[in-house]
Structure 1
Amino acid sequence: MIVAVLIAVEVISAFETSMMYAALPTFARVFEADASTVGWTVTAFLLVAAASAAVCGRLGDMYGRERVLIIVLICAAIGSIISVAFGTLAGIIVGRAIQGVAGAILPLCIGLAREHLPAKKVPMAIALISGSAVAAGAASLLVAGLLIDLGDWRYIFVVTAAYAVACIVLIEAVLPWRRRNAAEHRQVDFVGAAGLAVSVSAILLALTQGKNWGWSDTRVLGLLLVGVVIFAWWVWWELGRTSPIVNLRLLAERNIALTMLATIALGVGPVGVTTMLVPIIMQTPTSAPFGLGLSATYAGMLSFVGAMIGMLFTPLAGKIAAAVGARASLLLGATLFLVACAGFFVFRGSVAGMTALVVVVSVATAFAYTALPNLLVEFVPEHNTSEVTGSQSVVRTAAMAVGTSLTTVVLASFVVPGTSTPTVAALGMVCAMLVLACAGAIVLALGVKYRKR
């Protein structure tokens, strides 16, 4: 029952992260806004989610993950209510920013699984929770699209608000609350929390808006400079604290550092880019240098089916992690990613080939995405679980922003003369970048020394 509740709670985080992609065209039409403006409904959520994952993860470790998780879900519900109540694009952006606190749900759920379950069941539980996030992200596009088509865009926020309230009831009814000793209640490093939130938000905003504003724009360069300077100060500050918001000394441990670097490699590579590249290949007209000319509905359905097939492999990923360590799952996932990324270029003109590759990517995601938090759990003390997995979420989000930005730049730089259509050479460069990222992740995973806790 504990695992089922944690999976149900994580679904809302994944749904809120992805549902806006289905609503962006509707918002642009209803509010008569351009793509960059409606894009803030996604950007605002991601900026808050990245900071929330690290800060709330640490607060959960200190004061009780159930308590913090309920507060996070209350914020998610309030954000949905604000989006519906105001009914304006500005109101939706504000509501989405408040919803972004839900970015802390995954690290909190992983910490709760480790806190309440026997050690031998933790790898499987983490695999199922992480795998449900991937499946729910794919399903959210389909569900949100149906809600918009059958009713109104407000329905997606009504559903998320009701679901958040239902999750609060489940947590209160099912999860066993642990009493915290007074000795465990240490002073919160509010200065460190604020510094981390500001630096991460500034850097992510620059990365996500770079392709819209231009990489040489003073706003992008200024945000990057401010973010890096504040981050450097934050590192110095945290190293001097007895109770830091993020224990940086833990991140310096060999296996944890290699896991974080592998997270970056996969984030810049297949985890961040394939969700954007696959629809481009599938939906680009056949008259272009590459493309299958599929409809958005058909392409979306193929991606959804692939994600569901991948979800079926998450128990196997958990069993492998429990039996021989999560490194084996990571190696298998990264290898499958490498094969799929090379195949995108080879099978760019085959519907059957691309469909098979979508399945391979989904299976690879099931192994790699679930192995990364399990690797941390193998080497991190229990009381630091949500803190470190939250930091991993921040790192993955930043890496994915870098990967999508690089891909966009490459596809926009090599186009058919007189058009904005990418060439085969552009696709080849993107695929090569993804293959190199996968190879880097494999090398990093091989460097992890297995130690079963």
Structure 2
Amino acid sequence: MVSSDFPVAAPPTTRPVWLIIAVLIVADIVSSIESSMMLVALPRLIEAFDANAADVSWVITAFLLVAAVSAAICGRLGDIYGRRRLLIILLLVSVIGSIVSIAGGTLASVVIGRAIQGVSGGILPLCFGLAREHLPAKRVPTAIALVAATAMLAAAIGGLMSGIIIDNLDWHYLFVAAGVIAIVAAAACLALPKSTIVARVERIDYPGAVLFTAAIALILLGVTKSATWTWADGRTAGCIVGGILVLAAWIRWELRTDSPMINIRMFARRTLAMSMAAMMSVASGLLGGATVVLPMIYINPTGAPVGLGLSATTAGAIGAATTVIAFAAAPISGRISARVGSRWALVVGTGLGIAAAVGMAALNATVVGFVLAAMVALLATSFVSTSLPNLVVEEVPAENTSEMTGVITVVRLTFTGVGTAIVTLLLSLSVVPGTQFATTTAFNSVFAFIGACCVAGLVIALLIRPRSHRTSAVPAPTPAVGTEA
């Protein structure tokens, strides 16, 4: 058995461990709810503003673009200037986004408000950094697993909350609820210990921030809009290729500057680089693929080649129940990370993903069989979503925790979009003539894609070199003379 790779101690604090973890979970709930709350509201916005679906979809796209950039940049800024302070700022800015969406009275104002809300994408990496900064080493893996898994649970809660509000109230109340939750979370964050980080005097890498923002925005825009624009549209290829070129220019700049926005030299570390590669793979398959086909198969009529004919309410209830079970498994992933290393938690997750892909292909004719396969898929998602941030935390210095977990969050968001686009394309390649339903062959190709992504993730996990009997890549943070206000 290998020993934990996490810091051997944390700065002394009078706050109970359970309180710190609870506050971090509450903060993470804000980001997760805001990311999912508008999905069921799109038809209502189309009606309210007499707009088309393509225009209204910008309330999703605008949030996603800002969230991806915020995850990396705010993670870095939190490492430099103090994570607690920045976390509270992001929560309050997201409240401003809700106010703009409510008060504007136009679709454009809702899109702008959602873009402002997107800064909450930086919350998760800040929570990871705060967990490492303030918790005892033996509690860090489980805390990170719980915070990471909260995203799954809160997304389901957000969808349920949105459905109830849309069915009974005006869509404006979605933003009222989001704003209230964010205010409560910001107040709760005052209970966190003051940071031991002393604000460092560093030149902010503005060119790097601009290039990174442009690159990620272009790539994500091309990927997320591919279903609307189609892959044959020049705008799709233009955005993706342009984004890749800007990303290459950003990498060159970051390697030349003395104070980079993101220290990409750290990717020379084998474990860190392979963790990012594993995230690319599993995000494309499990996060991007399974999340598309599961609700589709639930709701498709029994007369379709693949469909169970469930009502939306029943499908939602099954989704919520299986998500709760997956969340409950998060501490198991954390304990595996603490006892034998996060590499093995990732091995378990990708192995479950392979089993889920086989199960979805073989058991989609019955509700019970497919629900069991879906449950395995969500358990796999829970394990990979919690083990990969822990792998990053094991590898990087404490002062880079939020920065690098922010990067892996960007990778997750980007490749989830890539996986969704690929699965949508695969399903569109073979449909029953005269209908919109994909054939069995199309669904089998999706299951094969999900399985292949999990196999790739498993191979990468097995190639990661386990640390042997050493306490940490870096020493634990020590109390500083000056602290964050």
Distance 1:359 1:136 in 2: 17
2:45 maps to amino acid: F
Given candidates 11, 27, 37, the residue that maps to 2:45 is 27
Larger mean CA deviation between 443-452 and 433-442 belongs to 443-452
Checking the alignment, whether the CA contact within 8 Å between 2:81 and 2:198 is kept in structure 1 is no
Distance 1:52 1:165 in 2: 19
Deviation (angstroms), 1:39: 1.1
Checking the alignment, whether the CA contact within 8 Å between 2:212 and 2:247 is kept in structure 1 is yes
Other structure's SS at 1:129 match: helix
Distance 1:80 1:420 in 2: 36
Q: For 1:116-170, what per-residue CA distance to the aligned partner results, in whole angstroms no more than 9, with x for missing partners? A: 1111110011011111111111121111111121222111100111111111111
Given candidates 81, 87, 111, the residue that maps to 1:69 is 87
Query: Are 1:371 and 2:387 an aligned pair?
Result: yes
Query: Are 1:102 and 2:133 an aligned pair?
Result: no
2:252 maps to amino acid: W
Distance 1:252 1:16 in 2: 35
1:404 maps to amino acid: T
Match of 2:195 in 1: 178
Divergent runs of 4+, >6 A: none
Distance 1:170 1:139 in 2: 20
Query: Are 1:273 and 2:327 an aligned pair?
Result: no
Other structure's SS at 1:238 match: helix
What is the RMSD of the two structures over their aligned residues, measured on CA atoms? 1.2
What is the 5 A alignment of 1:98-137?
Answer: 98-137=116-155
Query: Are 1:386 and 2:402 an aligned pair?
Result: yes
Match of 1:337 in 2: 353
Match of 1:216 in 2: 232
Given candidates 105, 111, 114, the residue that maps to 1:87 is 105
Higher percent of residues as helix: 1
Match of 1:140 in 2: 158
Deviation (angstroms), 1:418: 2.7
Q: For 1:22-44, what per-residue CA distance to the aligned partner results, in whole angstroms no more than 9, with x for missing partners? A: 21122122222222222111111
Given candidates 297, 312, 326, the residue that maps to 2:313 is 297
Distance 2:105 2:369 in 1: 43
Deviation (angstroms), 1:180: 4.3
Query: Are 1:448 and 2:454 an aligned pair?
Result: no
2:208 maps to amino acid: G
Checking the alignment, whether the CA contact within 8 Å between 1:270 and 1:341 is kept in structure 2 is no
Match of 1:259 in 2: 275
Given candidates 292, 295, 301, the residue that maps to 1:285 is 301
Distance 2:216 2:319 in 1: 31
Match of 2:208 in 1: 192
Match of 1:310 in 2: 326
1:408 maps to amino acid: T
2:262 maps to amino acid: V
Match of 1:437 in 2: 453
2:297 maps to amino acid: I
Checking the alignment, whether the CA contact within 8 Å between 1:63 and 1:185 is kept in structure 2 is no
Checking the alignment, whether the CA contact within 8 Å between 1:335 and 1:442 is kept in structure 2 is yes
TM-score, normalised to structure 1, is: 0.97
Match of 1:228 in 2: 244
Q: For 1:6-56, what per-residue CA distance to the aligned partner results, in whole angstroms no more than 9, with x for missing partners? A: 000000100001111121122122222222222111111000101110111
Using a 3 Å threshold, how does the CA distance of structure 1 residues 372 and 179 change in structure 2: closer, same or farther? Answer: closer
Checking the alignment, whether the CA contact within 8 Å between 1:336 and 1:360 is kept in structure 2 is yes
Distance 1:298 1:5 in 2: 32
Distance 1:212 1:399 in 2: 18
Checking the alignment, whether the CA contact within 8 Å between 2:279 and 2:408 is kept in structure 1 is yes
Larger mean CA deviation between 215-224 and 392-401 belongs to 215-224
TM-score, normalised to structure 2, is: 0.91
1:14 maps to amino acid: S
Unaligned runs of 5+ in 2: 1-18, 473-485
Checking the alignment, whether the CA contact within 8 Å between 1:13 and 1:103 is kept in structure 2 is yes
Match of 2:66 in 1: 48
Deviation (angstroms), 1:179: 5.2
* Higher RCO (Cα < 8 Å, 6 or more apart): 2
Distance 1:180 1:327 in 2: 29
1:235 maps to amino acid: I
**Would you say how many aligned residue pairs link Structure 1 and Structure 2?**
451
Distance 1:206 1:367 in 2: 29
Q: For 1:358-388, what per-residue CA distance to the aligned partner results, in whole angstroms no more than 9, with x for missing partners? A: 2212222221110010000111100000100
Q: For 1:51-89, what per-residue CA distance to the aligned partner results, in whole angstroms no more than 9, with x for missing partners? A: 110111000011111121122112110001111111322
Unaligned runs of 5+ in 1: none
Distance 1:180 1:120 in 2: 21
Checking the alignment, whether the CA contact within 8 Å between 1:282 and 1:294 is kept in structure 2 is yes
Given candidates 384, 387, 399, the residue that maps to 2:415 is 399
Q: For 1:414-442, what per-residue CA distance to the aligned partner results, in whole angstroms no more than 9, with x for missing partners? A: 11123222100000111101110000000
Distance 1:347 1:418 in 2: 26
Deviation (angstroms), 1:274: 1.1
